[in-house]
Structure 1
């Protein structure tokens, strides 16, 4: 296996055209029945119109997703999103795995792959503001789940929802605005779940329990390439 640059295509884009075609077909059938004078309750017509629109819009939503979600090279991993991207070097990576939370006496896997970094600063320097804002909002439910399951009952969650005015890295560099907000969220999730960055399962091309071993293999071959 030679690692040059691997492109991961998100499963979220699968069947995009199928959804669009089915949406158009449902709309066409609905219009044909309506123009033919076919009698149906108003609720039935509404359901058919809503179904056709929902299928078509879902297909469009899948189509606007980037064709590639992760670019993996011997030097770095880059996450691609329609709102921007972030990236980090392999040498900055401590570990990666499926994050888990406690549910009673058992551990429950979350639908993400998490990356724990040595230094978040390179990510803060490269992430687009639009993506930073989106991830803070999109991962809010992840934070809520972690707070409820990882902190003792009755804990004060208020500090986790405060909006920071700045964030200072270990090197002393100060970030403000959306970069500070994103940095604090990464720090919170690292404290609760053990990872800084999270990529949803829908952005991967295979199930999480297959993707992690595959990425470990990629990492090991990447080291072999570096040693040549």
Structure 2
């Protein structure tokens, strides 16, 4: 399977639009310097505009999520870091389902079930692990709700107990918290790793179909 790179960027800027933006900013700077009553005031306004442009560009980068799919692995790239898993360590990929009173409702999350937690825990950036623990709290609560275990949420949401994998690896601290969260999510949804549909550049069904084709084509190790 060929290597492909997918990117979900809130605002796509092509080269021509970038050039026009630079021209507009440069023109604004020159106009301010020529028309402002004083050079200090002109420089101050120009500095404010520059800071605003820089902050907007920072927000654009922060909201960008990229994915790399190769013949051997699947990787997520974010502004703060990312994670990687091999296809050979994935047993299943699908759309997360919420079960209530016998009814199945799809959720806007892609679920990935791993065979072994250790490679994922070793590869993930600490800042991303923290973000997952915070951002996916509603998903944990919803999963506990479907089995009427809401009262256990406070004990599970930030479980700091050490975690031992099936291959005997022991994790503590942030990695243990993430591993415990993954264990609870597997009990709720039968998945360990989750990707929000809002982070995808295509419909969730198309993304899952693409990932499954790579998973099916991957050679076992």
Q: Which moved more, 1:157-166 or 1:84-93?
A: 157-166
1:89-142 deviation digits (Å, cap 9, x = unpaired): 111110000001124442121111110000011011111111111110010111
Contact in 2 for aligned 1:167/1:176 (Cα 8 Å) = yes
Structure 1: which 5+ residue stretches go unaligned?
22-52
Q: How far did 1:216 drift?
A: 2.1
Distance 1:167 1:220, change over 3 A: closer
The yes-or-no answer on 1:206 pairing with 2:178 is no
Contact in 2 for aligned 1:15/1:59 (Cα 8 Å) = no
Contact in 2 for aligned 1:16/1:63 (Cα 8 Å) = no
- Aligned residue in 1 for 2:63: 65
Map 1:52-131; keep pairs closer than 5 Å: 61-66=59-64, 69-131=66-128
The yes-or-no answer on 1:220 pairing with 2:219 is no
In structure 1, how many angstroms separate the alpha carbons of the residues matched to 2:164 and 2:218?
32
Secondary structure of 1:213 counterpart: helix
TM-score normalised by structure 1 residue count = 0.71
1:149-196 deviation digits (Å, cap 9, x = unpaired): x21267543431353142111122111111111111111111111100
1:138 to 135, 143, 166: 135
- Aligned residue in 1 for 2:174: 178
Contact in 1 for aligned 2:6/2:68 (Cα 8 Å) = yes
Contact in 2 for aligned 1:16/1:60 (Cα 8 Å) = no
1:69-88 deviation digits (Å, cap 9, x = unpaired): 21111111111111211111
- Aligned residue in 2 for 1:50: none
Q: How far did 1:213 drift?
A: 1.8
In structure 1, how many angstroms separate the alpha carbons of the residues matched to 2:205 and 2:169?
37
Distance 1:6 1:114, change over 3 A: same
In structure 2, how many angstroms separate the alpha carbons of the residues matched to 1:201 and 1:173?
32
1:6 to 4, 7, 12: 4
Distance 1:104 1:80, change over 3 A: same
The count of residues paired between Structure 1 and Structure 2 equals 186
- Aligned residue in 1 for 2:47: none
CA RMSD of superposed structures (Å): 2.9
TM-score normalised by structure 2 residue count = 0.73
